[in-house]
Homo-oligomer: A and B are copies of this chain.
Amino acid sequence: MRGRISRTSGYPIHFWLLECFGAPVMPEDIDARRSEYPIIVPMDDGQSDGVVEDAKCVTLARIDAVGYPLGKPPAKINIRDVAGQAGVSVATVSMVINQNPRISRATRAKVNGVIQQLGYSPSRPAQTLSGKYTQVLAVLLPALRHALADTYFGELLSGVVDRAGKLGHKIIVEQTKPQYLKDHKHIELFERKFVDGVLCLGFNDKHHLLADFLARQYPAIMVDNRYSEYKLDFVHCDYRQGAQQAMNCLIQLGHRKIAMIYAAPESATSRDVLDIYRQRMMALVGGISEKWMVDGMFTAEGGAIATDKLLSEAPDITALLCGNDKMAIGAMHSLIRQGLRVPQDVSVVGFDDIQHLPFISPGLTTVHLPLYELGALAVERLIERTHDKISHIHEVLPTHLVLRESTGMVRQS
């Protein structure tokens, strides 16, 4: 049974009703700590406006999913209150909080007891002000509208948020719109002491904001890409390996006329895939035609348009390597629309292995990129970097091919 407390002022606070006029009410599923309040208790049941004026008769416990006792302003207590109550100095409390071994076991226990009892938790702004670290990292995203609704970023971000949480860090998310950069907000992130470091997702050689971090020696890691011009820290998936895996697969199935739908050649990892494609084609057929490489803009629509173009200029291709899954889906639709079967007539391989590609048929053979793990790794390294434990971060994560139905033996014709 539930009640609602309206203190003479302030918002109502919800309570479990433990007892009313001596009659116990549902003692189970209730937090152990109980409290008595001289208060007004209007009931929630129907419209009984009945109010218990002198509420000494009711015993209540706050509804607190996690429940510890509480009233609204816990009369903000600070480190001095704790020190006073524990009979030690402020410095001692600080050292207990920060696990400084100079404090004896006995003192530590005593102080921790008081901290518990008073429900003290140190103010982060104050800690940051006098300490060295903010324990906050930023994730920077390019200025694409709805960038976050992209599963590619979502997967990376999931890894970032999860690992950061585990390591006691908070993540703030920012979009680098033109105005944002003009206002130097990305520099302010450091200069106004918002963060210890930044993770840059979705950037490529064209995004010069990264040089700003380098120049000022602020910790920044490029995630799933690298910067060609500057020696910026990075972690990314092994796109070269992925491309090799995809090409191996197609070549072993007998394909020779393999076309490629790429995107964003201003990105180093995109060029990695193109490079490998070129190398393998060179070795395979002794030459490459630029007509077999079309830009698909990383979108499904772009992939479809690219495929249309490809089919009109080189109708005899038997396989398609796509720079990401979205373009591969677009490509498959274009193929099917033109009466070609996948994989009987044309095989298709993608990149990313995005989750929940719902009911795409045939299932798309694709290079799995460990994006979640990459996000987690990036956080791990960035924190080490902010603590000056490591300096140069150049790390690459292995990929693997996921075989589904969109690839098959080359057609006999």
Show the binding face of A for B, using Cβ within 8 Å. 10-14, 62-68, 70, 72, 74, 121-126, 128-129, 134, 136, 145-151, 153-155, 157-158, 161-162, 165, 170-175, 177, 180-182, 184, 187-188, 191-194, 208-212, 214-217, 229-231, 299-301, 304, 326, 329-330, 333, 355-356, 358-359, 372
Give complex CA distance A209, B126 in Å.
27
Chain B, Cβ-Cβ closest to A136: B172
Say which residue of B126, B184, B192 sits within 8 Å of A123 (CB atoms): B192
CB<8 Å pairs between A and B, sample of 11: A14-B230, A63-B215, A64-B211, A65-B209, A67-B215, A125-B134, A129-B129, A136-B172, A148-B154, A153-B154, A157-B173
Give complex CA distance A174, B192 in Å.
22
Instruction: Kindly provide the distance from the CB of A108 to the nearest chain B CB, expressed in whole angstroms.
Output: 20
Give complex CA distance A72, B171 in Å.
24
Give complex CA distance A146, B161 in Å.
10
Which 10 residue pairs are nearest across A and B when measured between Cβ atoms?
A65-B208, A149-B154, A300-B358, A125-B128, A66-B215, A333-B359, A65-B216, A148-B154, A125-B125, A148-B158
Instruction: Kindly provide the distance from the CB of A25 to the nearest chain B CB, expressed in whole angstroms.
Output: 17
B123 touches A193 (CB 8 A): yes
Supposing A180-B165, A215-B70, A217-B10 touch, asked if A145 and B158 sit within 8 A by C-beta, the answer is yes
Chain B residues within 8 Å of A147, by CB: 158
Contacts beyond the supplied A12-B231, A123-B129, A147-B158: 18 A-B pairs with Cβ under 8 Å:
A14-B230, A63-B215, A64-B212, A64-B215, A65-B208, A65-B217, A66-B184, A66-B209, A124-B192, A125-B193, A148-B148, A149-B157, A151-B154, A161-B173, A161-B175, A165-B175, A171-B172, A333-B359
Say which residue of B12, B177, B216 sits within 8 Å of A74 (CB atoms): B216
A158 touches B146 (CB 8 A): yes
Supposing A72-B217, A155-B146 touch, asked if A126 and B124 sit within 8 A by C-beta, the answer is no
Chain B, Cβ-Cβ closest to A301: B358
Chain B residues within 8 Å of A165, by CB: 174-175, 177, 180
Chain B residues within 8 Å of A329, by CB: 358-359
Instruction: Report the copy number of this chain in the oligomer.
Output: 2
A355 touches B161 (CB 8 A): no
Chain B residues within 8 Å of A301, by CB: 358
Chain B, Cβ-Cβ closest to A361: B333
Give complex CA distance A151, B162 in Å.
18
A175 touches B151 (CB 8 A): no
Instruction: Kindly provide the distance from the CB of A75 to the nearest chain B CB, expressed in whole angstroms.
Output: 12
Instruction: Kindly provide the distance from the CB of A362 to the nearest chain B CB, expressed in whole angstroms.
Output: 13
Chain B residues within 8 Å of A124, by CB: 125, 192-194
B65 touches A11 (CB 8 A): no
Chain B residues within 8 Å of A170, by CB: 172, 174, 194
Instruction: Kindly provide the distance from the CB of A345 to the nearest chain B CB, expressed in whole angstroms.
Output: 18
Chain B residues within 8 Å of A175, by CB: 161-162, 165
Report which residue of A65, A68, A174, A209 has the largest number of chain B beta carbons within 10 angstroms of its beta carbon.
A65
Instruction: Kindly provide the distance from the CB of A102 to the nearest chain B CB, expressed in whole angstroms.
Output: 15
A215 touches B62 (CB 8 A): yes
Chain B residues within 8 Å of A10, by CB: 217
Instruction: Kindly provide the distance from the CB of A90 to the nearest chain B CB, expressed in whole angstroms.
Output: 16
A216 touches B300 (CB 8 A): no
Give complex CA distance A378, B123 in Å.
26
Supposing A154-B154, A161-B148 touch, asked if A300 and B359 sit within 8 A by C-beta, the answer is yes
Chain B, Cβ-Cβ closest to A10: B217
Chain B residues within 8 Å of A300, by CB: 356, 358-359
A129 touches B121 (CB 8 A): no
Report which residue of A146, A161, A180, A326 has the largest number of chain B beta carbons within 10 angstroms of its beta carbon.
A146
Chain B residues within 8 Å of A128, by CB: 125
Instruction: Kindly provide the distance from the CB of A298 to the nearest chain B CB, expressed in whole angstroms.
Output: 11
